[in-house]
Structure formats: structure tokens, C-alpha cells
Amino acid sequence: MMYSEKVLDHFSNPRNVGEVENANAVGQVGNAKCGDIMKISMRIEDNIIKDVKFKTFGCGAAVATSSMATELVKGKSVDDALKLTNKAVMEALDGLPPVKVHCSVLAEEAIGAAIQNYYDNAGIDKKVKKGCDGCCSSCGGHDEHHHE
Ligand code: FES
């Protein structure tokens, strides 16, 4: 199995690992395919993600994609962060082997869950719609990856 240099770099030296102190957005999701878990915490101020960290019981590909995903959303607005897809994260990492695509969905979903938690805490009446867009051929876009 071949991993890109960027995947190996983010796997061996993951960015933003841990939990944000004073987090006001926390999301945890599980991967229906492998049973792995991802937790993302954020500090959001004035609609901007000031800080973000992740913890995962996932594989190396989950570590690398979460590292890259947290780098990509840090400093961005909530709305921009919600536009981040697992595909964009994989592209930023120069790709993942097909059997590892499902691992990249964890970060995207956990970011969505954290922002939903932020909306709920702040009394903002918005629903985050996130999850699999048919990225992996194995699920073909049905609801397998969606988590409450
Ligand atoms: Fe579970 Fe990669 S195998 S996240």
C-alpha cells in the first residue's frame, strides 16, 4: 500500500492533537465501517475557528486526514469550515489508497458535529448537514456514514 509523502508527514508528525481548553464546540463521531472514533474540539469566537484539536482512536490515515483537516479549518469562518469535504482533505494530502477513503470521512463528520454542538450551545437554530457524498464506492452514498 502506497502513502504519499504528505500523508506520512501528517501521520508521523500530526498537527493539532489533543483537546482545546475552553472549547465551545465539541463533536464526536464513529466510523460505521471500522468502528473507529474521532473527537474534535474547537474554540469559536465571532464565527471564526480560533483553535481546533482532534483525538482519534483511528488508524494512521485517520490521524493524517484529521491533522490536515484541522490545519485547513483553523482560522476559517464556521461557514467555510462546513464547506470542507473529505475529498478536499484527501487532495491536500495528495491522495489516499481507495480502501482508506472511509477514514477521511471521520474528520469531516466530526467537524460538522462540533459545529452543530456550537450552534446548539449558542441557541442558533441551524442544522449542519454533513457526511458521505458517495465518496467511497463501497457505500455509494447511502446513509451509512451519518451519525447523530
Ligand atoms: Fe478506521 Fe481508518 S480504519 S479510521
Q: What pLDDT, in 10s, does the model give residues 12-60?
A: 999 999 999 999 999 999 988 899 999 999 999 999 999 999 999 999 9
The dihedral region occupied by 85, where left means phi > 0, alpha psi between -120 and 50, and beta the remainder, is beta
**pLDDT score at 33:** 87
Q: How large is the ipTM?
A: 0.97
pLDDT at 139 over 50: no
The answer to whether residue 34 is catalytic is yes
Mean pLDDT score, 53-78? 97
d(CA 76, CA 30) in angstroms, rounded, equals 25
Specify whether the CB–CB gap between 37 and 65 falls below 8 A.
no
d(CA 34, CA 72) in angstroms, rounded, equals 25
**pLDDT score at 130:** 58
From residue 53, give the alpha-carbon distance in Å to each of 19, 22, 45, 123: 5, 12, 15, 23
For residue 38 and ligand 1, the question of a CB distance below 6 A is answered with no
DSSP state of 145: G
For residue 103 and ligand 1, the question of a CB distance below 6 A is answered with yes
Of 139, 66, 130, 71, which Cα lies nearest the Cα of 99?
139
**pLDDT score at 114:** 97
Mutate to test the pocket of ligand 1, among 3, 34, 55, 144 (most ligand atoms within 8 A of CB): 34
Q: Please state the atom number of ligand 1 nearest to the C-alpha of residue 36.
A: 1
For residue 34 and ligand 1, the question of a CB distance below 6 A is answered with yes
Q: Please state the atom number of ligand 1 nearest to the C-alpha of residue 60.
A: 2
Specify whether the CB–CB gap between 118 and 27 falls below 8 A.
no
Q: What 3-state DSSP class applies to 92?
A: helix
To the nearest whole number, what is the mean pLDDT of the chain?
A: 89
pLDDT top residue among 148 and 133: 133
d(CA 63, CA 29) in angstroms, rounded, equals 14
Tens digits of residue pLDDT in 117-138: 999 999 999 999 755 544 444 4
Q: pLDDT band for position 2 (50/70/90)?
A: confident
Question: Nearest 5°: CA angle at 129, between 18 and 92?
Answer: 55
Query: One of 103, 132, 135, 136 is an active-site residue; which one?
Result: 103
Specify whether the CB–CB gap between 57 and 64 falls below 8 A.
no
The answer to whether residue 132 is catalytic is no
